[in-house]
Structure 1
Amino acid sequence: MGVMVETDSLSLKKMIDKQWNVPWELVERVEEIRIFVHKLQASLTHTFREGNCVADVLANEVVESQSTKEYNTFQELPSSIRRH
């Protein structure tokens, strides 16, 4: 079984799946992603932004604090994240 990759960008998913044309300035990057997805035998799925809120909160926390944080258990997560 491969890896499941979720994206909240439906347009990116469609470009990777070759359903949409890729803007010329993104061609190389999208091809790199396609190769990587293939090597991992990954399944690429779309999730709505609401389903990505935990990742967004964690990313914002790192950007705002400008430091690296590691959580090893669910209980270590900030309560604002655990609610999601």
Structure 2
Amino acid sequence: MIERAWHIPWKVSMEVRRIHVLKEGLEVAIVHTPREGNKLADFMANIVFSFAGTNYICYNDFQYLPSEAKTILNMDKIQLPILRIRKIQNGNFAQDR
């Protein structure tokens, strides 16, 4: 959508147009990052989604983060890779849930 290769769904059309305006005159590279490479952002987005419509959440210090977020940050700090594990069922790979 950002590179104008796909049709823009109306639900996000205003946001995509704003991105187009922001990147005018700039050299911008858009790169896909798999969920495993962005685990903390994915975790925090899920927290925000679960609190949608209520007061906002703000974590100003590491000590106030949920324990899972602390674990993810510490794993990133020691550069421990985060892998997606899949089970083998009947000789085929099946995504672990």
Relative to the length of structure 2, the TM-score reads 0.48
Higher share of residues assigned helix: 1
User: For the aligned residues, what is the CA RMSD?
Assistant: 3.1
Q: CA deviation at 1:81?
A: 0.8
Structure-1 residue corresponding to 2:6 = 21
Cα distance change on mapping 1:75 and 1:64 into 2, 3 Å? same
Instruction: Report percent identity of matched pairs.
Output: 35
> Which deviations, in whole Å up to 9, do the C-alpha atoms of 1:19-42 show, x marking residues without a partner?
x23247479433321212347765
Query: Does 1 or 2 have the higher relative contact order (CA < 8 Å, sep 6+)?
Result: 1
Q: How many residue pairs are counted as aligned between the two chains?
A: 69
Structure-2 residue corresponding to 1:71 = 59
Highest CA radius of gyration, 1 or 2?
A: 2
Structure 1 stretches lacking a partner, 5+ long: 1-14
